[in-house]
């Protein structure tokens, strides 16, 4: 699930982005293996990536545009993807959410 979040707040806040990612992973029911964050500097964007037993979840933020790109790559039911999406969108106070859900690879034919 590729999610574009617009009109967000707090996108230059490393701790906030980390919480968004952690609560998103928790909402999805996935198992976190590792979590890496990078802050590009005060007032600038944050990248966060969670390695999951089920694949990964990433957030990249552009505070100057109020925009965050969230990717959720999971094997699992749609409700869990949606729960993760809603949790992250709420954590970042997104005003508008757009998404695409794309089935991948051999699983796309199942």
Q: CA-to-CA distance for 79 and 56, rounded, in angstroms?
A: 17
| Residue 42 or 108 with smaller CB distance to its own copies | 108
Tell whether residue 78 is a contact of its own copies (CB under 8 A): no
**Residue that the structure tokens 């869990």 belong to:** 80
Q: Reply yes or no on whether 60 is catalytic.
A: yes
Q: Reply yes or no on whether 55 is catalytic.
A: yes
Instruction: List the structure tokens of 93.
Output: 């106070």
Helix, strand, coil proportions of the chain in percent (round to 5)? 35, 35, 30
Annotated catalytic sites, by residue? 55, 60, 75
Residues near its own copies, by CB under 8 A: 2, 4, 6, 33-34, 36, 38, 40, 47, 49, 51, 53, 55-56, 58, 60, 62, 65, 67-69, 71, 73, 100, 102, 104-106, 108
């Amino acid at each position: 699930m590729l999610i574009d979040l617009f009109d967000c707040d707090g996108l230059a806040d490393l701790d906030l982005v980390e919480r968004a990612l952690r609560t998103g992973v928790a909402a999805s029911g996935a198992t976190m293996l590792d979590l890496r964050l990078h802050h590009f500097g005060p007032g600038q964007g944050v990248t966060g990536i969670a390695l999951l037993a089920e694949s990964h979840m990433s957030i990249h933020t552009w505070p100057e545009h109020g925009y965050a790109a969230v990717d959720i790559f999971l094997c699992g039911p749609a409700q869990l993807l949606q729960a993760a999406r809603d949790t992250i969108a709420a954590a970042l106070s997104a005003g508008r959410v757009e998404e695409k859900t794309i089935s991948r690879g051999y699983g796309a034919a199942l």
